[in-house]
Chain A
Amino acid sequence: MSKIHVTTTVNGDTVEYLCEPTETLLDVLRDRLNLTGAKEGCSTGDCGACSVELDGRLVSSCLVLAAEAGGKTVATVEGMAKGENLHILQEKILEHAALQCGVCTPGILVAAKALLAKNPDPTEEEVRFWLAGNLCRCTGYDKIIRAVLDAAAEMRGA
C-alpha cells in the first residue's frame, strides 16, 4: 500500500503529509500533525467532537479522508486563539463555565465560530439547532448556548 502525498493549508500554514488512503483527516491532524484539539468521539459523524472547517465549511473530520484535503484549507480549534489572546468564544466558554470534561469543547468552538460567521445574530433556537450535532454529556447544553449567545453579542459590539 503506497502512501499518498498531500499538500494542504491548516490554520493558515502550508502543511505536507504522507497518509494511508484509509486515514481520515482526523487521524492525520491528531497523529501526524500533532493537532490534538479535534477529538475522536464516535468516529461515525454523530458526535461533532472532531469538527473542523474544510474550505470554510463545518465538517466532521472523521468523515473526511486525509487524501481529500489536498489543496484545501483546514481550520481547527488551534487556529482560534491569536497567540495568548483567546477568541471571544473561548473566553465566553470559560466565563460561563460551559464545560466540564472538555472533550466536546473544541468541536463546539469550531462549530460556533462557523455559525457566527454565517449568522452573527442567531436566536437561541438557531444556536441549539446548529449545535445539535455537537454532543455534550456533561453540561446539559444550557451554559454552552448562553456562552455562544453572549459571544455573539460581544462580537457584534452589542
Chain B
Amino acid sequence: MRFESPATLEDAIHLLANAKGTARVLAGGTDVLVQMRLGLVTPDLVVDIKGIPGMRDITPVDGGYRIGAAVTGAEMGEHAGLKALWPGVVEAMELVGSTQVQGRATMAGNLCNASPAADSVPAMIAADAVATIEGPLGLRLLPVAEVPAGPGKTTLTKGEIITSIFLPARPKHSGDAYLRFIPRTEMDIAVSSAGVSLSLGPDGMVEFARVAIGAVAPTARLVEEAGAALVGTQLDAATLDRMMAAVRAACDPIDDKRGTAEFRTKTAAVMAKRAAKTAFARAGGKS
C-alpha cells in the first residue's frame, strides 16, 4: 500500500485518477481503517486529504455553511453558528460512534461510506444539503441524496472526491431534527431513523417540510409525500398519521439481526413523527 498526503486538491485528484488497483480517500479513517483491518478492503493507495487547504474548515457562505470534507463531528458540535442553524444535522452527526470516533469521523466520510444506516445522511437529505464533488473533469454539485447508490456504493466516479458539503440558509422560524431507533442508549447503529426539516409561515402553519428516512432501504431516501402531508398544518394528530403512513409506504427494509422489516417500518414512522414534533418546536411552532 502507498500512502500519500497531498498538499493540493489537484495532486489528490491526479493520484486517485491515475491509481492502479484499489484507492481510498482518507479523511477521518473511522470506516476505511476498520475495513482495512477486517480485510474487507486492501487498498493499493490511500490518499489523506486532511492537508489540502479548506478541507478542515467550516465556512459561512450565503447564509449557510460549507463544511469541508475533513471536518470532524466534534468540530461540528463545537460550532455555535452551525448548531444554531442546523441543530438536527449536527445532532445526527454527533450520534456517530464514541467521543474517540467523533474526534476523527467526518460527515463526508459518513456519506461516502454509503451505509443505509448512516446517521448524518437522512438529516442532510432533509436539510437539502448539496455535496461539492471535484474530479478529473472538474467540479459538480450533487444533492446528498444522489451520492449513495446502495450499501457501500456511491455514484462518484474514479478520481472524484467530495470536497465539501453545503448546508443552505433557511428562513426564520425553521427547525430540523434527527432521531434513530437503537436498542441501547448510545454507540450503536440505527435500526431505523428519520430526519425532518421544516419552516413555518407567518400564520404559524408549516409552510415547507422535508422528511427523510434511513436504515429502511438500500439508501437513505427523501419521502416527498411525508413532507407534503405536514404543509399547511400545525402537526395535529390526523396530519401526523398521514405523514407516518407516507413514511411506512416509502420503507423497503431488510430483515437482519438489528430488526425485522416490519419493526423497521413501524419504528421509522415513529421516529419521523417525533423528529417532526421536535423540528416544529425548534421552529417556534405552537400546536
Q: Which residues of A contact B (CB under 8 A)?
A: 1, 4, 21-22, 24, 43-46, 48, 51, 54, 57-60, 62-65, 67-68, 70, 111, 114-115, 129-134
Contact call A44/B34, Cβ cutoff below 8 A: yes
Contact call B33/A67, Cβ cutoff below 8 A: no
Does B104 lie at the interface of the complex (its beta carbon under 8 Å from any beta carbon of A)? Answer: yes
Q: Which residues of B contact A (CB under 8 A)?
A: 1-3, 5, 26, 28-30, 33-34, 36-38, 46, 48, 50, 72, 74, 97-101, 103-104, 186-187
| Residue among B3, B34, B99, B104 making CB contact with A67, cutoff 8 Å | B3
- Distance in angstroms from B192 CB to nearest chain A CB is 21
Chain A residues, Cβ within 8 Å of B33? 24, 45, 62-65
Contact call A58/B103, Cβ cutoff below 8 A: yes
- Complex Cα spacing A138 to B179, Å: 32
Contact call A45/B100, Cβ cutoff below 8 A: yes
**Interface on chain A toward B: helix, strand, loop, or mixed SS?**
mixed
Contact call B104/A63, Cβ cutoff below 8 A: yes
Contact call B2/A48, Cβ cutoff below 8 A: no
- Distance in angstroms from B33 CB to nearest chain A CB is 5
Contact call A132/B104, Cβ cutoff below 8 A: no
| Residue among B3, B26, B104 making CB contact with A4, cutoff 8 Å | B3
Known interface pairs A4-B3, A63-B30; A133-B187 also in contact (CB < 8 Å): yes
Contact call A65/B3, Cβ cutoff below 8 A: yes
Question: Chain A CB within 10 Å — which of B33, B36, B38, B48 has the most?
Answer: B33
Please name the 7 residue pairs, one residue from A and one from B, whose CB atoms are nearest each other, closest first. Answer: A133-B98, A21-B3, A57-B103, A60-B100, A59-B103, A63-B33, A67-B3
- Distance in angstroms from A107 CB to nearest chain B CB is 8
Chain A residues, Cβ within 8 Å of B36? 22
| Residue among A1, A43, A59, A68 making CB contact with B100, cutoff 8 Å | A59
Chain A residues, Cβ within 8 Å of B29? 63-65, 68
- Distance in angstroms from A23 CB to nearest chain B CB is 10
- Complex Cα spacing A130 to B48, Å: 28
Contact call B103/A132, Cβ cutoff below 8 A: no
